[in-house]
Amino acid sequence: MKKITKAVWILSFISFFTDVSSEMLYPIMPLYLKSIGFSIVLIGVLEGFAEAIAGLSKGYFGKLSDQSGRRVPFVQFGYLLSAVSKPIMGFFAFPLWIFLSRTLDRLGKGIRTGARDALLSDEATPETKGTVFGFHRSMDTLGAVIGPTFALIFLYFYPENYSALFFIAAIPGLSAFLISGLLKEKNKEKQSSQEKPNIISHFIYWKNAPISYKKIVIGLLIFGLINSSDIFLLLMAKAKGLEDSQVIGIYIFYNLVYALFSLPAGILADKIGLKPTLVFGLFIFAFVYGGMVFAEDRIHFYSLFFLYGIYAASTEGISKALITNIIPKTDSASAIGTFAGLNSIAALIASNLGGLIWFYSGSKSMFAVSALISVIVAFYFIRFSIRKSE
């Protein structure tokens, strides 16, 4: 495929091995946390805090990457930090220790994401970004199929031996770091601004950002406020009577659908438009969350997680492609990082709010509210046009 360059292949394989590592742990995380005494509210706090760390650091390091004109060092160090954080969680089952290791993992993501997405954007044209980001997302998500599959097989032979998985997960994580050594830095134009970035300075980018960028980010942030961690979806399946192996199996199925449809969704977006594809994904999200209110058996959950995979394929890479299409290349990491920083605050609120609504009003209320607001956001995007940058 001519649209997929060598650098895109390398970045995609890096993400593949990283997701094998991370997603090996993700579906067992709520099971592990509950087994060591975490309440549903504390799980929400942990996930929200972790995502907030990732998002705020994305903005800082994205700005730093743009100012330095360098991408590769940020990518490499970010993946290394996430790799070494995995075995840390397996040493002790204390809440503070879990928070520390989870924070290190998300900090690694924050360091690498802006620079990595800027590299992907540089390898594409405005007309091929859906395909490039979709391909990368499909490889990334393929790792999210293999990782939980391994976890499922491992736990079949060694039931509830969660700690060992944290050490095993370090192997593909370190492999991703080694592959990142194949990346080569291109000569990049530095930002003219030499202001030293700090943890909040990247938000200044918002003042001079294109109007279309602000419109996109506002819509995505409203959606982010109700898009709580996927852990709640898994907990819902568990609460409705699915066994641990079935919960992991349904998560594998979701990621398989996600992986298979990410590239086709990207290709379709390049043909019919990025925004229509995003809107379609938002409507699918609303249907899934609304369906969670009524789901009762395994068939219902498999059907809804199939659609959830379609939603993810239609929004994750597409939203980044939209953002990078309406800003200058020299600001790409800052733009993505600024959005990520703001979205991290939304994620923090969403996961905490989701846990509180679940605790006080029940799970059905949480999913119903999310479904309603996602429909409102979909109509918000329908109402305005997005102009590409020159």
Please provide the DSSP assignment of 307-336 as one string.
HHHHHHHHHHHHHHHHHHHTS-GGGHHHHH
The number of CA neighbours under 13 Å toward the Cβ of 153 is 5
> Does the global pTM surpass 0.85?
no
Highest mean pLDDT among 14-18, 212-216, 297-301: 14-18
Q: How far apart are CA 320 and CA 330, in angstroms?
A: 16
CA distances from 275 to 278, 332, 343 (A): 5, 19, 19
pLDDT at 376: 95
Given the structure tokens 């939209």, which residue do they identify?
322
Which of 168-182, 206-220, 280-294, 332-346 is the least confident region?
Answer: 332-346
Q: State how far the Cα of 317 lies from the Cα of 267, in Å rounded to an integer.
A: 11
Whether 193 has a pLDDT exceeding 70, the answer reads no
CATH of 6-181+204-382 given 1.20.1090.10, 3.65.10.10, 1.10.760.10, 1.20.1250.20: 1.20.1250.20
CA distance 361 to 75: 42
| pLDDT one-digit tens code per residue, 355-385 | 888 888 888 889 999 999 999 999 999 987 7
What is the per-residue pLDDT for 115?
86
Q: Which helix (H) or strand (E) holds 136?
A: helix 129-157
- Please choose, from the candidates 357, 350, 367, the residue with its C-alpha nearest in 3D space to the C-alpha of residue 40: 357
pLDDT of residue 151: 85
